[in-house]
Structure formats: structure tokens, C-alpha cells
Amino acid sequence: MSHDPNCIFCKIIAGQIPAKKVYEDEHILGFHDIHPWAPVHILLIPKLHIASMVELQPEHAELMGRMAVLAPRLMKELGVSNGFRTVINTGADGGQEVYHLHMHVMGGPRPWAKG
């Protein structure tokens, strides 16, 4: 699998940096965001280093599908029952801060909603 030795998410995958894991298989790692925007805020990342969605190729379709199917299962397991939000920031203008593809999955009261 591709790996970037300078990538913080690759270091988490390698066990060099601790994370509060919620899921792991041979392709995907899920863990709690260290700066949550919602009561439940996890990140799903591929173990394969893909910098952003711009780099996705047809061979990544199954991986992205696995992440999309996994999100609702994990939200249910984490007690989220009234919906959730998924976000994939892509590139500088898209708000991407860590250049390893990742899906934010956020549930609970919506801090992004205008009140």
C-alpha cells in the first residue's frame, strides 16, 4: 500500500501516532476527530495514501463505496439516531487541511445549523 512518511494520517495508520479508533479493517481506518464539530465526529480514511479526491481513479471505486456504506453503520453503533453529515474536503479551496483523503462523519446536534 502507498504510504507517505510525512503524512499524519499515514502515521496514525502505522501506529506511530495514537488515535481513538472506532473501526479498522485491511482497507479503512475510522477514528474520532481530535477537534470535533459535533457530539460524534469521526474520520474514515483509506489505508492507501490518496492525497485527495482529485487523485481518485476507477480502481478506487470499491474503496469509496466501502467508506460510504460504513458511515451509517458506525453512526448507528455510536448512538447517532437522528441523521448525520458526511463531508470530504478537497483541495485548498475545498477546505482540505490534511492531504490524505478522509471522510468526516458527524452526528448529533448540528452546530453548523443557523439558529
Query: Would the pTM of this model clear 0.75, i.e. be above it?
Result: yes
Cell 479503512, residue located: 28
Phi/psi at 24 (nearest 5 deg)? -160, 135
Which of 41, 49, 100, 102 is the catalytic position?
102
The DSSP call for residue 79 is: T
In this predicted structure, the answer to whether residue 69 has a pLDDT above a threshold of 80 is yes
Domains of the chain and any CATH numbers = 8-107 (3.30.428.10)
What span, in angstroms and rounded, lies between the C-alpha atoms of 84 and 80?
Answer: 7
Active site residue 102: yes
Q: Which of 89, 45, 34 is nearest to 70 (CA)?
A: 45
Q: pLDDT-based confidence at 114, cuts 50/70/90?
A: low
**Distance, CA of 88 to chain centre:** 8
